[in-house]
Amino acid sequence: MKNFTLIFIFISFSLSLFSQKHWESIVLASDTWKYLPAISEPPATWNQVGFVDSAWNTGPGGFGYADGDDATLTGAVNSIYLRKKFTVDNTSIIDQLLLDIDYDDAFVLYLNGIEVARSANITANPPLYNSTLTVDHEALLYRGLLPERFVLKTSALKQGENTLAVQILNYNTASSDMSGLVYLNARINSAATIYHPVPSWFTTPINSEDSNLPVILINTQGLSILNDTKITARMSIINNSTGLNNTNDTTFEYNGYIGIEDRGSSSLMFEKKSFNVERLGTLCTIFR
């Protein structure tokens, strides 16, 4: 959809409605996890839903050593294995799912026993606890940078209990540092806050249907917009308090009938025209 620059003069007309869609963190790095610092191979089923991890350690993330971002220090090991159970009561309200992960030096992540993301420096499939990496990788967040982001399929989530399993790999045990911080973020189509607020560094992804500008939808109901003769059309304004507007949103700041006509003289020949819009004697000009 094309961007609009708007000039509005409102007469006793002001509505402010909260958007339903917003971003939350289902899982935070600082949550409590089950973890295993490994210097030998764990059971092959460690990443499966039914694996019993009661013998593993319990602690908050991140995990690792020497980066200053480690809530749980593990010492120099080949791999750190992480497990986290979480509940999704209603998968139908989650329309986007993002993994934001900060790691040193590599990772593989499983959701409900299925691999859904990995770093590019791992060739082994599946990797062993001491698999060789093609290159080392430095963590980003502690340096003021954003973690790596992966788009996950919402279909990977199950109604009810879900299991997140992550292997963080070290380049070798002589490496000077190691890090693993995992965030699972979702766009929720609900007015309620269900999980956690997103971290302060979180940036909202923009796709082809999203905009951080107000979105105006004009339906001329099959009529052509004319010069000097207003036609009746319907106008919907999407201007959410979250700052994220989507063409599929159903919460509007204004949703009603308008009169609309072409505006200008010589500019009428331009491909991008401007319009005069009128509602109950309230005039505004839209340049597109």
User: Would residue 200 count as lying in a domain?
Assistant: no
Determine the pLDDT at residue 219.
79
Total domain count, the chain: 2
Note whether 158 and 29 are same-domain residues: yes
Examine the domain organization and report whether 41 and 140 are in the same domain: yes
Cα–Cα distance measured from residue 243 to residue 191, given in angstroms and rounded to the nearest whole number: 15
The beta strands (E) that lie in 91-209 are given as 94-104, 106-111, 114-118, 148-152, 160-169, 178-189
Residue 147 lies in a domain: yes
Query: Is there a domain that residue 201 lies in?
Result: no
**Residue 266 pLDDT:** 67
Give the number of C-alpha atoms closer than 13 A to the C-alpha of residue 124, restricted to the C-beta side.
14
Cα 29 from Cα 77, distance rounded (Å): 20
Whether residue 236 sits in one domain with residue 177: no
The overall average pLDDT reported for the chain is 85
Domain identity same for 217 and 127 = no
Domain annotation covers residue 202? no
Average pLDDT over residues 265-275: 69
Is the CB of residue 119 less than 8 Å from the CB of residue 103?
yes
pLDDT of residue 268: 64
| Interval 56-78 mean pLDDT | 95
β-pairing, 178-189 with 21-27? antiparallel
- Determine the average pLDDT of the residues in 143-164: 96
Domain, as residue range, for 279? 5-20+208-287
- Model confidence pLDDT, tens digit, residues 33-43: 999 999 899 99
Structural domain ending residue among the three candidates 189, 217, 251: 189
Domain-ending residue, one of 136, 162, 189: 189
Is 102 inside any structural domain? Answer: yes
Residues 56 and 144 in one domain: yes
What's residue 10's pLDDT? 34
pLDDT of residue 4: 42
Percent of the chain past pLDDT 70, that is, above it, reads 85
**The domain spanning residue 134 has which CATH number?**
2.60.120.260
Q: Are residues 174 and 233 in the same domain?
A: no
- At residue 248, the pLDDT reads 67
Confidence category of residue 11, pLDDT binned at 50, 70, 90: very low
* 11, 40: one domain: no
Would the pLDDT of 17 be above 70? no
* 221 and 152 in a common domain: no
Higher-confidence position of 283 and 72: 72
Asked if residue 9 has pLDDT above 90, the reply is no
Residues 117 and 227 grouped into a single domain: no
pLDDT bin (cut points 50, 70, 90) of residue 215 is confident
- 118 or 242: which leads in pLDDT: 118
The answer, yes or no, to whether residue 110 has pLDDT greater than 60, is yes
Residues 217 and 259 both lie in one domain: yes
DSSP string, 197-259: PPPTT------TTEESS-EEEEE-TTPPP-BSS-EEEEEEEE--TTS-EETT----SEEEEEE
Instruction: Judge if 164 and 30 occupy the same domain.
Output: yes
